[in-house]
Structure 1
Amino acid sequence: MLLRLPGTYPAQGDTHLLTRTLVELDLARGRDVLDVCTGGGAVALAAARAGARTVTAVDLSHRAVLTARANARLARVRVQVRRGDLFEPVRDRRFGLVLANPPYVPAATDRLPRHRPGRSWDGGIDGRAVLDRICEGVAGVLTPGGRFLLTQSTLAGEEPTLTRLAENGFSAAVVARAPEPFGPVMRRREAMLRERGLLGPGQEHEELVVIEARLPVVLPSVAEQCGRAEGFGSVV
């Protein structure tokens, strides 16, 4: 059981799907791990327990940062929790694995809330306001050959996510799927989502997916390899 301050995103189906996939694929072991949009820290704690070398968690919310720090202490695991906007607090670092359970629920407006609980789930009109920023920026904090694990709803479009990642140098694929019954937020937006054609007749659940993306290892150029060969064994 995790401590949760009011206004902090609770661990739900998307959290459990992401952590279960993380453990099943054994991606955290021996890696420096970054968890963005950490909320109460559930995914970061799972990475620490799954053998990560180090774990850093980031969230924009003051309450989420306090909650994640408290949960790390209660769980007696080492997690460095920093406050900031996505990758900004760790621009000077590189990680072997990045995890993300970002806001992705389609909303009535593209204006994202800053000081309300809705900041944990509102993803703009198409649900992609935060998703696209993450896809654009994650390569900048990964080591060559690094991995990225993201969970989202198909209501925000899995194909646009795969396309964005491919455009940024990743090979990516959906590695897990699970139906998720509508919770309070989806119930309140059900009529709006049906009007937009995002829900089928009688549909009472959304589909969650986990996408795994791999950044290729950058090999030395032919010229660099030749230069190293020429210099090998030379006497100065």
Structure 2
Amino acid sequence: MPFRIAQIRLVSSHPEVYEPCDDSFALVDALLADRNHLLEHHPTLCLEVGCGSGYIITSLALILGQEAPGVHYIATDTNPHAVRVTSETLEAHGVHAELINTDIALGLEKRLAGLVDVMVVNPPYVPTPEDEVGREGIASSWAGGENGRSVIDRILPIADNLLSDKGWLYLVTLTCNNPSEICLQMRERGYASRIVVQRSTEEESLHVIKFWRYLDAQEDGKQMVTPNKTAPARGVMESLFSQFPLLSSWRSNSNHSS
């Protein structure tokens, strides 16, 4: 039987590549929770920005599986070691993606503009000094600059350019990233949003937020946030938290590797 998600024992590794952790598991669980919607969405092009070990793009390909034939998967990473490790992880699971060593989607803007139906991003979100952002090696996977937003704020307009009219963005954020402000910024670009997964540990509080264009009225039926660009930031998050169920149960590492 094909795997439902990538298996930790088959995920390749390298000292300079970020290994699957709580944020990776939360994003994959968000995709699992949204699987029926993803299948009904009929994506033709899926993109991961910052593929790292390949755990997430491999899991997405397995989640959609044979029920979504003809999907083209692309994954990018600024770390060349991550590109190699992702290739090994994909091969170990018998799935394929086009891999590109680049910063976010540099060089792909024209080729992919308006074509990406599903975009998944576990960005560098840890607050760090700005001079740590974009360094070579594993530090590039977590160093997010002031408030952890330096890379996230670069990704949002790129996502807007690449997403198709029905495109969905799944983004991992921390509370300290001010997700309410991120939602407001995306509203100004014409996107509704909802929290798919929220999880807390002793060290951090994670939110996986899904964004989609207002014109995609079929997204999740009643689970749409009513557009209101004048809503205060606090009201946005209260709306997100009150209207949609939060999936708060943690999966243990053994569950992900079984």
Residue matched to 2:210: 212
Q: Give secondary structure in 1 for the equivalent of 2:83.
A: helix
Aligned amino acid, residue 62 of structure 1:
P
1:28 deviates by 4.2
1:172-222 deviation digits (Å, cap 9, x = unpaired): 122210013xxxxxxxxxxxxxxxxxxxxxxx3210000000023489xxx
Match of 1:112 among 133, 150, 153: 133
Secondary structure at 2:204's aligned position in 1? strand
Quick check: 1:8–1:39 contact (8 Å CA) kept in 2?
Answer: yes
Distance (Å, rounded) in 2 between the aligned partners of 1:113 and 1:143: 28
Structure 1: how far apart are the matches of 2:99 and 2:58? 11
Return the alpha-carbon distance in structure 1 between the equivalents of residues 208 and 100 of structure 2: 24
Q: Is the 8 A contact 1:28 1:50 kept in 2?
A: no
Are the counterparts in 1 of residues 79 and 137 from structure 2 also a CA contact under 8 Å? no
Name stretches of at least 5 consecutive residues in structure 2 with no aligned partner. Answer: 1-8, 218-258
Aligned residues: 196
- Are 1:81 and 2:99 matched, yes or no? yes
Q: Distance in 1 between matches of 2:38 and 2:89?
A: 19
Report the Cα distance in structure 1 between the residues aligned to 2:149 and 2:84, rounded to whole angstroms.
27
Q: What fraction of aligned residue pairs are identical, expressed as a percent?
A: 24
RMSD: 1.8
TM-fit CA distance, 1:110: 4.6
User: In the aligned structure 2, how far is the partner of 1:74 from the partner of 1:127?
Assistant: 33
- SS of equivalent residue, structure 2 residue 51: coil
1:96 corresponds to 2:128: no
Taking the TM superposition and a 5 Å limit, the aligned residue runs for 1:1-236 are 1=9, 2-26=11-35, 27-29=37-39, 30-31=42-43, 32-51=45-64, 53-91=71-109, 92-93=111-112, 94-180=115-201, 204-217=202-215
CA distance in 2 between counterparts of 1:35 and 1:4 reads 18
SS in 2 for 1:126: helix
Amino acid of the structure 2 residue aligned with 1:112:
V
Q: Deviations over 1:32-87 (max 9, x none)?
A: 21010111111100110112512111111100111111111111101111111112
State the distance in 2 between where 1:218 and 1:126 align.
31
Tell me how far apart the structure 2 counterparts of residues 17 and 4 of structure 1 sit (CA, whole Å): 20
Within 2, Cα distance between the matches of 1:59 and 1:160? 26
Question: What is the rounded CA distance, in whole Å, between the counterparts of 2:131 and 2:150 in structure 1?
Answer: 7
Cα deviation for residue 113 of structure 1 reads 4.0
**In 2, Cα distance between the equivalents of 1:113 and 1:145?**
31
- Quickly say closer, same or farther: Cα 1:39–1:89, change in 2 above 3 A: farther
Q: CA contact under 8 A between 1:83 and 1:89: conserved in structure 2?
A: no
When residues 89 and 39 of structure 1 are mapped into structure 2, their CA distance, relative to the original with a 3 A threshold, is farther
Measured after TM superposition, the shift of residue 7 of structure 1 is 0.7
Contact residue 135 and residue 168 of structure 1 kept, 8 A: no
4+ aligned runs moved over 6 Å, structure 1: none
Distance 1:11 1:152 in 2: 16
**Are the aligned partners of 2:47 and 2:120 in contact in 1 as well (CA < 8 Å)?**
yes
CA separation of 1:90/1:113 partners in 2, compared to 1, >3 Å: closer, same or farther?
Answer: closer
Q: Is the 8 Å Cα contact of residues 200 and 206 (structure 2) preserved in structure 1?
A: yes
Change (3 A) 1:217 1:145: farther
**What SS does structure 1 have at the residue aligned with 2:126?**
coil
Q: In 2, distance between residues paired with 1:11 and 1:149?
A: 17
Moved more, 47-56 or 61-70: 47-56
Which amino acid in 2 is paired with 1:214? W
